[in-house]
Amino acid sequence: MQVHSIHQETPDVWTISLICHDFYRYHPGQYALVSIRDSEETLRAYTLSSSPGQSKFITISVRCLPDGEGSRWLTQEVHPGQQLWLSDAQGEFTCANAPADRYLMLAAGCGVTPIMSMTRWLLANRPEVHVQVIFNVRTPRDVIFANEWRDLDASYSQLKLTLMAESDASPEFLTGRITRETLEQICPDIASRTVMTCGPAPYMKAVKQLALDLGVPAQNFYQEQFQVVADNDADGATLKLTTNTPLHTYHAPVGATLLFAMEQNKLPIQAACRAGVCGCCKTRILSGDYTTSSTMTLTPDEIAQGYVLACSCQLNSDVVIA
């Protein structure tokens, strides 16, 4: 995709707008792997902050971290006209997988990117749905998509937006962090809503417990997995790939295929079709969270034992392979 423009959202967050000349299929809330400096080995996962059918460009919104190899390059060096490589859209954190009539979207910091993507899409495509958003930031100047949030809040009666700032809160903000009392006051019908959240790991852990304590069924609570499985990578998008025999740990991008992760770390594997057809890359996963797009050559017994086709297996968490 070609970089059309780069817009600064906050002191440390930029949105990169991309021109895609072909049809790019994605669901609101999904992410893509981005090649850093055109490297096949250096990939980073970023949410597609645009909404399918609603946004003129494909966009990613990136926080520049001092030690983030990918984020520093994308926000400080990439320029309009440059080409970026994006993978197919990936991830299960999308309202397409959580159909409901009433949502509560909880976001903190950059975790608002999939929340904006889903909120924008829901308001435009499902006018019967009520969407409540609670967005936590450090200070008012850290509100990503500030102008668009104000426009959406003014334009759609089915949207209820609450902004919270830990410090320097202006009149339109609540002060402090989210608490049980805050949730009970702002969203008294939380137990009847589908709750979706994205943000730093401690934030997501806290709001999950609050939601469950307030009666939200576990099956109606969804959270993004980037921060939960992140290792030491500054961009927060790597996971551990452990081989059981011999015991050794490697690293791979969140959302990468098992085949890519094994080849990137020079682990022995055969792959012919790379399309989930031939069965050459059959591999057994002993533990971890993953999704598969093809089981064409696997028997039910093999699937029960954890066998996957590595080319068609996307990794969502740390995994251990036989």
What are the structural domain ranges in the chain? 2-76, 95-228, 238-321
Read off the pTM: 0.75
Gap between the Cα atoms of 31 and 48, Å rounded: 5
Q: Could you tell me the two tokens for 234?
A: 């500054």
238-321 CATH fold: Ubiquitin-like (UB roll) (3.10.20)
pLDDT at residue 42, as a whole number: 79
More confident residue, 235 or 54: 54
Name the pLDDT band for 105 (thresholds 50, 70, 90). very high
pLDDT at residue 244, as a whole number: 83
Between the two ends of the chain, the Cα-to-Cα distance in Å is: 37
- pLDDT for residue 159 is more than 80: yes
Cis peptide before 253 (omega within 30 of 0): no
Give the rounded distance of the alpha carbon of 141 from its chain centre: 23
Gap between the Cα atoms of 155 and 208, Å rounded: 30
Residues paired with 103 in a beta bridge = 131, 194
Residue 141's SS3 state is helix
- pLDDT for residue 50 is more than 90: yes
State whether CATH 3.40.50.80 applies to domain 95-228.
Answer: yes
- Amino acid sitting at position 42: T
- pLDDT for residue 235 is more than 60: no
The answer to whether the beta carbons of residues 56 and 71 sit under 8 Å apart is: no
Residue 272: other Cβ atoms inside 10 A: 11
- pLDDT for residue 211 is more than 50: yes
Share of the chain residues as helix, strand and coil, in percent rounded to the nearest 5: 30, 30, 40
The answer to whether the beta carbons of residues 86 and 16 sit under 8 Å apart is: no
Of residues 213, 157, 223, the one with CA closest to residue 190:
213
Domain 2-76, CATH homologous superfamily name and number = Translation factors (2.40.30.10)
Residues paired with 177 in a beta bridge = none
